[in-house]
Amino acid sequence: MRVLLIDDHALFRSGLQSLLERQGIEVVSSVGNGEEGIAKARELQPDIILLDIRMPEENGLAVLKRIVASDDISAKVVMVTTSTEDEDVIGALRGGARGYLLKDMEPEELIQALGKAQTGETVVAPELAGALARVVQGGEQKSHPDTPLDGLTPRELEILAHLAEGQSNKVIAKELGITDGTVKLHVKAILRKLKVQSRVEAAVLAVELGLGRKSVTS
């Protein structure tokens, strides 16, 4: 995997580059602004572009738009940022980003997410699952009717995505690093909020609404 970093914080870029290289990932270039980043993307043709949102001269969403519109850049773009604002998450995913990750996530989770993004999956930090669900539903427009998922917490949405694949409480607990009892409590809350009687009904509803492991990736 060949990666290009675009972030205005030099210290973060340096640390991220070291992390990626220790995992055998080639960082083809590391730059501090969108203009230089786009030039490097055209020149070096990376597989993945890791792009910050909060940058001074041109923000990441504007840079993303230019990259996606470019016929000579084929790299998949993954946002890596501190912003948890729905507006940024929805704007990035609708703008063509293949992922939206947070700078404080665990290193192994970041590496795993990049691998999935390279294969074409959309990867989003678990904390932002609610925003992703709104993208899947057609999003934040007030004229749209509420959906059953709107009342779920990010953790409940994450567990519901696992239920959609038929996973047991034990398997879900192991994957999320929580106890079986905690999963059971979340499942009870999910069933109550969705007004269904069984986990199977909840799973069917999740699939119908487009929620699944490929859209809520940890």
- How far is residue 153 CA from its own chain's centroid? 16
Structural domains present in the chain: 2-123 (3.40.50.2300), 131-208 (1.10.10.10)
Work out the mean pLDDT of the chain and round it to a whole number: 84
**Pairwise pLDDT comparison (150 vs 99), residue with the higher score:** 99
Higher pLDDT, 1 or 136: 1
The residues, ordered by sequence, that sit 6+ positions from 8 with a Cβ below 8 Å of its Cβ are 32, 33, 52, 54, 55, 56
Position 61 pLDDT exceeds 50 = yes
Tell me: pLDDT of 50 over 90: yes
pLDDT at 79 over 60: yes
- pLDDT band for position 167 (50/70/90)? confident
Q: Which of 56-60, 128-132, 178-182 has the lowest mean pLDDT?
A: 128-132
pLDDT digits (tens, 9 = 90+) for 14-41: 999 999 999 999 999 999 999 999 999 9
pTM of the entire predicted model? 0.62
Which amino acid is located at 91 in the chain? G
